[in-house]
Structure 1
Amino acid sequence: MSDLTRKTAAELADALAAGETTSVEITQVHLDRIAAVDGDATAGVHAFLHVDVEGALEQARASDERRAAGRPLHLLDGVPIAVKDVLTTQGLPTTCGSRILEGWVPPYDATVVTKVKAAGLPILGKTNMDEFAMGSSTEHSAYGPTRNPWDQTRIPGGSGGGSAAAVASYEAPLALGTDTGGSIRQPGAVTGTVGVKPTYGGVSRYGLVALANSLDQVGPVTRTVLDSALLHELIGGHDPLDSTSVDQPVGGLVDAARQGATGDLAGLKVGVIKELAGDGWQPGVMARFQETVELLTELGAAVTEISCPTFVHSLATYYLILPAECSSNLAKFDAMRYGLRVVPDGDPSAEAVMKATRDAGFGDEVKRRIMIGTYALSSGYYDAYYGQAQKVRTLIARDFTAAFEQVDVLVSPTSPTTAFPIGEKVDDPLAMYLQDLATIPANLAGVPGISVPAGLAEEDGLPVGFQVLAPALADDRLYRVGAAVEAALTSRWGGHLLEKAPVLEGVVR
């Protein structure tokens, strides 16, 4: 493995600024790494659905020309990135992990992709995901599962397992993901990477193929907290193309990460969420969580237990609101305008074509959620299910407000377990849904959250994530606390957690 693939995005940016390497060299070694270990649906990590070799190298050459002329566009100009396949990319396929969009090439870029291109970051390709972001394991992709670089018999989390696995296996230094109920943070936890869900509206959703409009949020996937801060500042900010975009600049995140890395959390008030722990949580996960809480105390923070009683209803609330919104959003995939079209024999009606196409194009999990959502929105049941869920959502947001009147940040394990074996829960939807137990409340309330590696569980030697939540628009607190935890644990471990992972050299197993 090239030394360049081992460097963080910040280190690569410094090397480019110092003239020690070129974007073409950095991009090529990552493309070589992808070719060596990514494989396909039958073998390898399978983090990518599409790799844009020519496009990435062309963008890298343009970056080198700008640097040679002394006109870099951004600190990260020339550092390559991977993009989750739910974000539209002009000229590159966007499938959302679904057969119904197989081969679709969008005519426009998502705003975050536009910003990444404008800053000069070469796009390596599009990463695998659960179909339309519905899942917690990336097993629901129509193109086969992604595998966890720590153990290829295990899941990498979901729905953004492709982005997390690409970063964890050193195929990309940076990636973009989306988080609807934990789809950035949970994959981060089980792959030993850093995943951030920004404040709702803090990063544009324009060009994000919507699963649930009131929950979806684009965010960074990286190996370090500083790298996430750099990428978050790049993609964040107001976007007039997104009606839910917050008209407030994003800044101070990199400074917060650098401050946190000094290890000083004096004066910080931390609340441990009482409801996000206990019976049913893997002992190794809880052990690492308790150790990290103790570490916060050593760094000067004041830690107290906080009760958020309505959080126990968050899972049920989420799985009424999300299916309702997805049943509406996915109605546009009707075989009439773009995407897959299946024409039954004979002289079929438009309704028959639509039915055949949706039956062939959507997977089981998508169909399940569409049916649940349609039922929840149906006449006679709207108030009983969807309406009640929205009322509970308000109570969850109030619990957050009350908690943040007492503490600066809230903490919990990111996921109840480490990465489970591929196939173990794919036929048990309820068991799969429970993987997002700790991450869902943040999406329902719109507050930001980060998952940072907290060590390995004794039972299986797999990564555990530590989640930090902050008030809306206080994303900088995530980076201060996350960087402090990362710096202290990295010092304790004698290196980054990923350095303890099995190294996937040039053999696709």
Structure 2
Amino acid sequence: MTDLTSMTIAEAKAGLANKSFTSLELTDAHLAAMEAARSLNAFVLETPDQARAMARAIDARIAKGEGGPLAGIPLGIKDLFATKGVRTTACSKILGNFVPPYESTVTSQLWRDGAVMLGKLNNDEFAMGSSNETSCFGPVVNPWRREGSNTTLVPGGSSGGSASAVAALLCMGATATDTGGSIRQPAAFTATVGVKPTYGRCSRWGIVAFASSLDQAGPMARTVRDSAILMRSMAGHDPKDTTSVDIGVPDYEAAIGKSVKGMKIGIPREYRLDGMPTEIEKLWSEGAAWLKAAGADLVEVSLPHTKYALPAYYIVAPAEASSNLARYDGVRYGLRVPGRSIGELYENTRAEGFGDEVRRRVMIGTYVLSAGYYDAYYLRAQKVRTLIKKDFEDCFAKGISAILTPATPSAAFGVGEKGGADPVEMYLNDIFTVTVNMAGLPGIAVPAGKDAQGLPLGLQLIGRPFDEETLFSLGEVVEQAAGRFTPQRWW
């Protein structure tokens, strides 16, 4: 049955349509793979009984010719998405054993289209982290290893469980969220494809909030085509989310293989950082050459406010987090640690329920929103955000179709290697990704090569608002040129 887990979503859809195997067989194969890979800690909750029940129901629908676009495809769900009747914790102690009585819009659309839920995937606590080491369930392990080394590597964050599970063939695709790079960075670290859609393209309703003006749900999969298939089901207008945009959802899969001839691809000079590893520089040049060979035109562009993006992001995101996380008070749901007064109950619950990184960001956020510092920090960061957005608008106004950049400043690093003494060291991992969230634009990370130690590296393409189709077309060019990478099984 193991060969069933190595198929792409597109291949599995064809196999199910041809009745080569059933959804139940496909689901069982993935459940067995999950059981054998528990050392990766990718899943925080497995739902085998529910998965098999869903698979049987889908098989019955397929037999009647009623299967949807994802009929029978087993997926993993990031533990930030509310799943009705299934524990949802955001990988934080403060949510305890919270079982939502409702389903997030994104997951309800996946079930509507026939997908099967295998379980809930690990992530950084409240999505705050770049390595999946802040989860209350412990760190996720990257299925990739450096050549000749047994060092345990991080899969990136916050969607580390999604990235690790997809790369290790434990699920055919996964939901993820991206606030500052939480889809694209782990995708680059694990040789998977991650898409951060335009802000407002996918509903945020039923997703545990981190920073409401930055959060966006998106797919992680093994190929560009698979991510396009998932994205079509995940996207769409939702009246329950006031930031959801009411525009039609195109057939993203149809964009795969479309000619990119004549497209102008921007190469931003500000992304050439001092001390950038030569292998990242080389990868970037190779990616540009592949797009040029496919008929695209390369144009150097300027995004002058890029250097302010990271500091501005780490003011805006914690500010919104401190506001969003105020609801976790031990009164209505989740963890409750008693105190002698209501104030003490709040303090005790939050002290025990929130991890170090969440506490750090809540305190930063509360500080920059305080009366004495609001103008100096938060207001100024919002002005910088407007300038970052204008940089991109100016580029696109000159006929640029998409912008090509590295996805990360390095390959995956070891568990415990970064951020211990200096949290900023960890924050710097987001240097190439946060601008996209600050401007609300779509971005895709595609595997593009390996470093000297055999670890995967990714390239990022940034698109115009609501023009994910162009990203899928360009991403497929990179994928075809680079080939696909899978980790050697050791777990």
Same topology, TM > 0.5:
yes
**Corresponding position of 2:406:** 413
The one of 52, 56, 59 equivalent to 1:57 is 52
1:425 to 409, 413, 418: 418
Using the TM superposition, give the Cα deviation of residue 257 of structure 1 relative to its aligned residue in structure 2, in angstroms.
Answer: 1.6
Output the amino acid matched with 1:298. A
| 2:204 corresponding residue in structure 1 | 205
- Residues 75-95 of structure 1 deviation map (CA, whole Å, 9 limit, x = unaligned): 211001101001100111111
Q: Does 1:483 align with 2:469?
A: no
* Contact 1:10–1:76 (CA under 8 A) maintained in structure 2: no
Contact in 2 for aligned 1:284/1:457 (Cα 8 Å): yes
Alignment pair present for 1:473 and 2:466: yes
Q: Note the C-alpha offset of 1:254.
A: 1.0
State the match for 2:3 in structure 1: 3
Query: Gaps spanning 5+ residues in structure 2: where?
Result: 146-150
State the secondary structure of the residue aligned to 1:275: helix
SS at match of 2:260: coil
User: Quick check: 1:168–1:191 contact (8 Å CA) kept in 2?
Assistant: yes
Query: Post-superposition shift, 1:30?
Result: 0.3
Counterpart of 2:117 (choices 85, 98, 123) is 123
CA distance in 2, matches of 1:503, 1:318: 37
CA-to-aligned-CA distance 1:321-376 (integer Å, 9 cap, x gap): 000000000000000000001124xxx11111110010000000000000000000
Give yes or no for the alignment of 1:379 onto 2:371.
yes
Q: What is the CA–CA distance in structure 2 between the aligned matches of 1:464 and 1:272, rounded to whole Å?
A: 18
Matched, 1:497 2:491: no
Give, as a single letter, the amino acid of the residue that structure 2 aligns with 1:138.
N
Query: Deviation per CA, 1:214-265, whole angstroms, max 9, x where unpaired?
Result: 0000000000000111111111110000000001011131111242xxxx42
Partner Cα separation in structure 1 for residue 306 and residue 53 of structure 2: 48
SS of 2:45 mapped into structure 1: strand
Identify the range of structure 1 (444-453 vs 269-278) with the bigger mean alpha-carbon deviation. 269-278
Task: Measure, in 2, the Cα distance between the counterparts of 1:70 and 1:409.
Answer: 39
Misfit runs of 4+, over 6 Å: none
User: Is 1:394 matched up with 2:394?
Assistant: no
The equivalent of 2:288 in structure 1 is 293
Question: Where does residue 326 of structure 1 map in the other structure?
Answer: 321
**Separation (CA, whole Å) in 2 of partners of 1:316 and 1:403:** 22
Cα distance in 2, alignment partners of residues 284 and 173 from structure 1: 30
| TM-score using structure 2 length | 0.97
Q: Secondary structure at the match of 1:386?
A: helix
Residue 97 of structure 1: CA displacement? 1.0
Q: Give distance in 1, aligned partners of 2:55 and 2:458.
A: 33
Matched to 1:196, the amino acid is V
Aligned to 1:157: 156
Alpha-carbon distance, 1:150 to partner = 0.4
User: How far apart in 1 are the matches of 2:22 and 2:279?
Assistant: 42
In 1, the alpha carbon distance for the partners of 2:191 and 2:277 equals 17
Contact 2:69 2:114 in 1 (8 A): no
Secondary structure of the corresponding residue to residue 167 of structure 1: helix
Q: Report the Cα offset of residue 304 of structure 1.
A: 1.6
Q: 1:268 aligns with which of 240, 254, 263?
A: 263
Distance in structure 2 (CA, Å) of the matches to 1:46 and 1:377: 36
What's the TM-score once normalised by structure 1's chain length? Answer: 0.94
SS in 1 for 2:380: helix
For residues 30 and 224 of structure 2, the distance between their equivalents in structure 1, rounded to whole angstroms, comes to: 21
Return the offset for 1:102: 2.1
Instruction: In structure 1, give the amino acid aligned to 2:109.
Output: K
Letter in 2 for 1:249: G
Q: What SS does the corresponding residue of 2:91 show, helix, strand or coil?
A: coil
Distance 2:276 2:172 in 1: 31
Q: Which amino acid aligns with 1:23?
A: S
Q: What SS does the corresponding residue of 1:466 show, helix, strand or coil?
A: strand
Distance in 2 between residues matched to 1:487 and 1:96, nearest whole Å = 35
- 1:105 matched residue in structure 2: 99
Give aligned-pair identity as a percent: 47
Q: Which residue number corresponds to residue 493 of structure 1?
A: none
- Residue in 1 that maps onto 2:140: 146
State the number of aligned residues: 484
Structure 1 CA distance, aligned partners of 2:344 and 2:351? 11
